[in-house]
Amino acid sequence: MITNYLISGMVGIMLFFTVVVAPTVFKVLPVEWSSKYVRNFFPKYYAFLGFITLVTVFTEQNPIGRLYLISCAVLFAFTLFFLTGKINAAKDEGKNKQFQVLHGLSVVINIAQLCIFIYLLTKSL
């Protein structure tokens, strides 16, 4: 039961940021401010969601569900400790194609994690 609450909270955070926060930040703030905000926000986003995902690994009863959650936790760690730095470096160095590819990868990973969380919620109903 606690697992579903935790996963629901993560889905809410992920959807709220994607649908409300990100578009608003880029629409309202000047580019230099929005870039600074995003660079500061994403490490906290990945760390927080990764930590909560790790907690759910220990509350999940189903071994297959646990494997899905472990994979999501690993992806949060990969994005936090490896991909974010590469994305920022590519942007700073003006490597636009590399930036687009790496940023696109981070988006795909985030969507995959969101889909896994939604799948786990619907499977438990």
Domain chopping of the chain, boundaries: 2-123
Average pLDDT over residues 81-87: 98
Mean pLDDT of all residues belonging to the chain: 97
Alpha helices by DSSP H, listed for the chain, are 2-16, 22-28, 31-59, 63-78, 84-92, 96-123
Strand spans (E) along the chain: none
How does DSSP classify residue 62?
-
Q: How confident is the model at residue 124 (pLDDT cuts 50, 70, 90)?
A: confident
pLDDT at 118 over 90: yes
pLDDT at 73 over 90: yes
Average pLDDT over residues 68-77: 98
pLDDT tens-digit map of 23-57: 999 999 999 999 999 999 999 999 999 999 999 99
pLDDT value at position 125?
79
pLDDT tens-digit map of 9-31: 999 999 999 999 999 999 999 99
Among all chains, which residue has been given the structure tokens 């009863």? 61
Q: What is the pTM of this model?
A: 0.94
Question: Which sign, positive or negative, has the C-alpha torsion 93, 112, 51, 78?
Answer: negative
Q: How confident is the model at residue 119 (pLDDT cuts 50, 70, 90)?
A: very high
